[in-house]
Structure 1
Amino acid sequence: MIKITQPWQKRLEASDKPAYLLLADLIAEDIRTGRLTARDKLPTLRDLAAELRLNYTTVARGYAEARKRGLIDSRAGTGTFIRGTSPAVPLRGGGGAEMTMNLPPEPQDAGLLDRMKESAARVMADTDVYDLLRYQDFGGTVRDREAGMQWIRPRIPDCRLDQMLVCPGIHSVLAALFSQLARPGELICVEALTYPGVKAIATQLGVQLHALPLDEEGPMGESFEHACKTLKPKALYINPTINNPTTVTISRARREALADIALRYAIPIIEDDAYGLLPRQMPPTLASMAPDLTYYITGFSKTLGAGLRNAYVRSPSARQSQRLAGALRATTVMASPITNALSTLWVEDGTADAMLQAIRTESNVRQAMAQKHLGTYGMVAPSESFHLWLPLSSAWSMVEFASYLRTQNVGVVASAAFSTDGNPPEAVRICLGGPMSRDDCDQALRLIADTLAHPLHPHATVM
């Protein structure tokens, strides 16, 4: 019997667990105990099936499960090997770096944090608490909506009060708009790589997504026009500024082309500009190019913090704002008056803008770290972004790369999560924000770079 598999047969015979799962467990156990180490070669499928008296399919499934767990690697003509480890620097204190959720960084500015705490206390001190605990009309008070207009004025200078709604987060607005604009089975055009929440909403509502291919300027106008002619979509959803996940900002020329097509075919536009206030200079919004068709949405999840759950929506008209309010009232009742009051005060007294500036500054610092460690690997990101897009070479598949980093306590997201056309590129999104400190972010980026520099495939070329 092959030496490294001698202990496996008794364990297989004594266990009721499916043999293919136990086989992967045994490989993992031997790696932990040191019986198997990086680059050790495993028997072929046929040899192992014969030695363990298992059928070929069971062994093949066991190896597939071990590959799925990141334990082994198989290459035609070279065999199956135990995967190696990257000579990376461990994260401080043995902790992990959560780089999957796209949260803004949390600036450690004591003065700003004290200011936010004082403002929050003032909201409760200066307001009738029972006013904040009662039902309110959907869309926020006049004061709340005026604050919303003030917040989006840099991007939408001509918004009217009757077009503005204050809502409980961008995601709820997208769900309401999708349900309002498209019935089950009908189609909405989206970018080929887009915010994964849109995919979840469409699945829940039975709405079909039609992927528009991307180039360096954004969704291709020719594809959108062809879809308008042949498929009659009910809307165009677009994330035009620092796209999640690719970080691409759609050029002015491409925005004009998409707006022109939408106007010619009367296609409503859902402009999800969650990141729109992060860059200091931006092309005009689609809402400014096609104001009678565009729902412009932004909020605080990417400029203050996701827990605030406040979003602002500028609808094409007062009537459409009322219709949207009805759809949102049916699903969310209202935005929390307490968070509305806090958001409004932070906008009015400049705290929200101060936090936005601090997040920009912190993002610049972290992108400089990322450029130092990953710049030679083709990472894509503007300096104001707190996520980046990392194409992968042939030495890694996106799933293998993300899975391996997870075993090293670093979480990134494979491009498949964002794909709407079923053909995702080999790439991952890496987030640089959230509660992670600068030191933890830097060490995680160094670990990612080391993993790229030392591929785990036994016969891969070192990059």
Structure 2
Amino acid sequence: MRDENLPGWLPRLAAHGGPRFLQIADALQAALVEGVLKPGDRLLPQRQLAALLEVDLTTVTRAYDEARRRNLLEGRGARGTYVAAPKVELTSIIDLSMNTPPPPDDVDFDDMLKQGLSQVLMRADTNLLMTYHLGGGSDSDRKAGAKWLEPMFGHLDSGQLVVCPGAQAAIAALILALTEPGDAILAEAASYPGLRAAVAQFDRRIIAVEADECGMVPEMLEQACRLHKPGLVYLNPTLQNPTAVTIPEHRRRQIAGIAKRCQVRIVEDDPYWLLANSPPPPIATFAPEQVYYISTLSKCLTPGLRVAFVLIPDLQERERFLVALRSFALMDAPLMAALATQWILDGSADRLMDGVRKEARLRHRMARDILAGRYDGAGDGLHVWLELPGYWSSAQLARAAGSEGIAVTPAEAFATGSGSVNAIRISLGCIKDRRRLQAGIQRLSHLLARRPESFGADLNM
């Protein structure tokens, strides 16, 4: 039975429904969407509501603060708190679907951006920043790239590097430069969706190679190389997207040996190496003549820096790569490349990355605590690969989560073969507010404990 003394918009608080202040804020938002509350309605004073709910005043204060943050409430001084006219979409999504670096608490990003751009504009010729370039990066950009890659490779000849407008452009250019229409490209059964998109556009085909808890299985890779004579092998070996598996060093050496024996080339797409805890050396260190190594700033610093560095030791292959790249991306944006170079050379990039790394690990601990026995992450990186209980399919769960305002990515989005694991990827960096992220993961955890039947027939569509 409902307590008649409670306001009509507020349900009874659930013991296991997550933080009580968020239950109150969520109920208020739902009441607005459903029309139970309307702009201009006056809410109960906080003390009165706290007494009715038998919670402390702080809980209600936090709930009202959260509702104000969502632009649902407005204070009118002594007259009280009122429902605000909607300023944003009331059914805003908690986005756990996009892999982006989390904003670190101890870094003033706005100040870093202003300072970095100020230094660039003070030192550079603005005409050069706003005109065409041949592509591949300036000498300064490539030197910055060599410094960025020092943790992986030690000292590098910056002349072996190419600067690209993001890792996706690098992958596409490598496919164009090194393969022919109809060629096979080997990849793990669950791989980065951007690979599949590029392969489809360029009339190549992906063949899935079996992977286990340590990544791509060497025996299966060698068998596939001899059977299909692939143009390329694609690997994302550190905190793999989506499974978060890191290929150990002994297996990296095995894969490098197979590449040499079978004379097959590897694209080593390694965006998360600098976020990982004590990662093994890149595969490129064991077979430099067979491997094209890609490192992007988008996953370690910020997606707005569309800058990636590609290590290609052979001069002729660098030229082939640049010709392919220029067919669809004439050059990287000079201003962004100059900002990336400034940040790398003055140490700002390291400070930002340290903050991202610290924040990501904190969010992993949060996810592990909430998801308990379901969490099987590495403790670092940007995402968690969550295998589902048998009563959920990944597509069903994604639809159910979407109906509750949570976006996740189902396993089907990463499938390169005919089948896929029953899992979802949860990204931990896209939500700026840590408390909102926590609430989203808690709601997802509660959803996992329910069964699809409780949502009706819509989930089976």
How far off is 1:434 after superposition?
2.0
Structure 1 unpaired stretches of 5+ = 1-31, 34-88
How far off is 1:110 after superposition?
5.1
Instruction: Kindly provide the amino acid, as one letter, of the partner of residue 414 in structure 2.
Output: F
Q: For residue 332 of structure 2, what is the aligned residue in structure 1?
A: 335
How far off is 1:189 after superposition?
0.6
Match of 2:127 among 123, 126, 130: 130
Alignment CA distance shift 1:133-1:387 (3 Å): same
Q: For residue 48 of structure 1, what is the aligned residue in structure 2?
A: none
User: Contact 1:97–1:436 (CA<8 Å) still a contact in 2?
Assistant: no
Alignment CA distance shift 1:132-1:457 (3 Å): same
Q: For residue 83 of structure 1, what is the aligned residue in structure 2?
A: none
- Listed as ranges, the matches of 1:132-281 within 5 Å are 132-281=129-278
CA RMSD across the alignment: 2.1
Structure 1 position 414 matched with structure 2 position 431: no
Structure 1 position 437 matched with structure 2 position 426: no
Structure 1: distance between partners of 2:262 and 2:452:
51
Alignment CA distance shift 1:350-1:158 (3 Å): closer
How far off is 1:109 after superposition?
3.1
Structure 2: distance between partners of 1:228 and 1:398:
31
Q: For residue 451 of structure 1, what is the aligned residue in structure 2?
A: 447
Structure 2: distance between partners of 1:221 and 1:366:
33
Structure 2: distance between partners of 1:182 and 1:273:
21
How far off is 1:115 after superposition?
2.8
User: Contact 2:93–2:405 (CA<8 Å) still a contact in 1?
Assistant: yes
Deviations 1:279-311 (A, max 9, x none): 141111110000011100011110111111000
Structure 2 unpaired stretches of 5+ = 1-33, 36-62, 71-90, 457-461
User: Contact 1:96–1:409 (CA<8 Å) still a contact in 2?
Assistant: yes
How far off is 1:395 after superposition?
1.6
Structure 1 position 121 matched with structure 2 position 131: no
Structure 2: distance between partners of 1:96 and 1:135:
39
Q: What TM-score does the superposition give when structure 2 sets the normalisation length? A: 0.78
Structure 1: distance between partners of 2:455 and 2:202:
47
Structure 2: distance between partners of 1:176 and 1:340:
19
User: Contact 2:145–2:309 (CA<8 Å) still a contact in 1?
Assistant: yes
Instruction: Kindly provide the amino acid, as one letter, of the partner of residue 202 in structure 1.
Output: V
Instruction: Kindly provide the amino acid, as one letter, of the partner of residue 100 in structure 1.
Output: S
Q: For residue 349 of structure 1, what is the aligned residue in structure 2?
A: 346
Structure 1: distance between partners of 2:319 and 2:452:
56
Deviations 1:3-32 (A, max 9, x none): xxxxxxxxxxxxxxxxxxxxxxxxxxxxx9
Secondary structure of residue in 2 paired with 1:194: coil
User: Contact 2:145–2:158 (CA<8 Å) still a contact in 1?
Assistant: no
Match of 1:366 among 351, 363, 367: 363
Q: For residue 380 of structure 1, what is the aligned residue in structure 2?
A: 376
Structure 1: distance between partners of 2:450 and 2:328:
50
User: Contact 1:159–1:314 (CA<8 Å) still a contact in 2?
Assistant: no
Q: What TM-score does the superposition give when structure 1 sets the normalisation length? A: 0.77
User: Contact 1:238–1:271 (CA<8 Å) still a contact in 2?
Assistant: yes
Secondary structure of residue in 1 paired with 2:198: helix
How far off is 1:375 after superposition?
2.4
Secondary structure of residue in 1 paired with 2:313: coil
Structure 2: distance between partners of 1:98 and 1:367:
16
Structure 1 position 284 matched with structure 2 position 285: no
Structure 1: distance between partners of 2:369 and 2:391:
21
Structure 1: distance between partners of 2:366 and 2:448:
16
Structure 1: distance between partners of 2:185 and 2:132:
34
Count of residues paired in the alignment: 374
How far off is 1:184 after superposition?
1.3
Structure 2: distance between partners of 1:459 and 1:154:
49
User: Contact 2:185–2:205 (CA<8 Å) still a contact in 1?
Assistant: yes
Q: For residue 305 of structure 2, what is the aligned residue in structure 1?
A: 308
How far off is 1:435 after superposition?
4.1
Q: For residue 85 of structure 1, what is the aligned residue in structure 2?
A: none
User: Contact 1:294–1:316 (CA<8 Å) still a contact in 2?
Assistant: no
Secondary structure of residue in 1 paired with 2:257: helix
Q: For residue 108 of structure 1, what is the aligned residue in structure 2?
A: 105
Alignment CA distance shift 1:293-1:431 (3 Å): same
